[in-house]
Amino acid sequence: MTVEKFTGSFEKEDLGCTIMVNETIQSITDPDVLGLYCYLLTKPNTWTIKAQEIMNHFKMGNKRTYSLLRKLMELGLLTRTQYRDQGKYAKFSYKLHLKMYDKNPVNNESGTESEPLCQKGHAVFDTAYKTKRDLQNKDIKENNKKKKKQEVIPPQEIVDAYHETLPDSPKINYIDEPLQRQLRKMMANWPKYSASGSSFTIQRFIDFLKMVEINFSWFLSPYFNQSGRKRQNNLRHITREINISKIINGEFTQNA
């Protein structure tokens, strides 16, 4: 069996042709990821990559679509950029690459370009494992005193980022006062969770959610409680201080 190669002229193809990098195509082992990548490559460079359009074209659901997009980001073939409007979270946009890239995040006036998602076992979240005593020592307190004034981020932006990053997790349709207080507390305490004492940002929160998804997937999966009812942890559970502490201390196990 032979492989038919294109030998004609691009100008003679009314619907156009797409050039792909052999090394990139051959490195993708998941046929569904490869199919989506090839489909996206056929679009013009002015075309906006939207999850809903992909869902409509392939007739697949939200969960499958975002799963494939995440795999492309893990491969370094897709970049997700967060845009803000007047300092507030506005939207995410995606950029497709011809080759797998390896670069640091790039900050610009229009948005913040994120790194490829981490591979299993390697957390992107800006933290080092600490003991509970370390979280309360004088060095951490000194870092907190020296930190810059933290940007006030509306709870709705955190909820939007949670929905976008973990589309399979339960939705938050109403942000009640207890949840608002919990999110404000998380933002205020963020520097002590971070090894560098960094203040809270939406991107750092997204990185944290990704770390939870990769290293503690069981925590996000549905389960049955003692009464036999099906339950699933949501944003309220993820952002509790005791859970964040267990995660960054490496104390969280499936039996914890």
Q: Which two tokens stand for residue 189?
A: 């305490």
Residues facing residue 85 across a β-bridge: 88
Is it the case that residue 198 has pLDDT exceeding 70?
Answer: yes
Q: Which two tokens stand for residue 22?
A: 């052999």
Is it the case that residue 13 has pLDDT exceeding 50?
Answer: yes
Q: What is the pLDDT of residues 18-71, one digit of tens each?
A: 888 888 999 999 999 999 999 998 888 888 888 889 999 999 888 888 889 888
Q: Is residue 256 in some structural domain?
A: no
Which pLDDT score is estimated for 4?
Answer: 66
Q: Which two tokens stand for residue 167?
A: 């589309």
Give the residue-averaged pLDDT of 67-80.
88
Shared domain check, 103 and 152? no
CA 209: distance to chain centroid?
A: 7
Q: Which two tokens stand for residue 233?
A: 């942890």
Is it the case that residue 132 has pLDDT exceeding 50?
Answer: no
Shared domain check, 244 and 136? yes
Which pLDDT score is estimated for 17?
Answer: 78
Which pLDDT score is estimated for 43?
Answer: 87
Which pLDDT score is estimated for 81?
Answer: 80
Which of 113, 140, 173 corresponds to the end of one domain?
A: 113
Is it the case that residue 129 has pLDDT exceeding 50?
Answer: no
8 A C-beta contact, residue 240 and residue 153: no
Kindly report the CATH number assigned to the domain that includes residue 37: 1.10.10.10
Its pTM surpasses 0.75: no
Shared domain check, 219 and 155? yes
Shared domain check, 141 and 62? no
Task: Give counts: helices (H), strands (E), the chain.
Answer: 12, 6
Q: Is residue 43 in some structural domain?
A: yes
Q: Which of 27-41, 99-113, 144-158 holds the top average pLDDT?
A: 27-41
Percent of the chain residues past pLDDT 90, beyond the cut: 23
Is it the case that residue 173 has pLDDT exceeding 60?
Answer: yes
Which pLDDT score is estimated for 109?
Answer: 38
- The number of distinct structural domains making up the chain is 2
For 156-188, b/e burial (b = at least 16 CB within 10 A) is ebbbbbbebbbbebbebeebeeebeebbeebbe
The better pLDDT of the pair 139, 119 is held by 139
Q: Which two tokens stand for residue 37?
A: 């990548």
Q: Which two tokens stand for residue 153?
A: 């981020």
Is it the case that residue 112 has pLDDT exceeding 80?
Answer: no
pLDDT confidence tier of residue 89, bands split at 50, 70 and 90: low
Is it the case that residue 180 has pLDDT exceeding 90?
Answer: yes
Backbone torsion region of residue 121, taken as left when φ is above 0, otherwise alpha when ψ lies between -120 and 50, otherwise beta: left
Is it the case that residue 216 has pLDDT exceeding 90?
Answer: no
Give kind and range of the element (H or E) at residue 79.
strand 78-85
Long-range contacts of 225-233 (CB under 8 A, 24+ apart): 232/169, 232/170, 233/169, 233/170
Domain that holds residue 183: 132-248
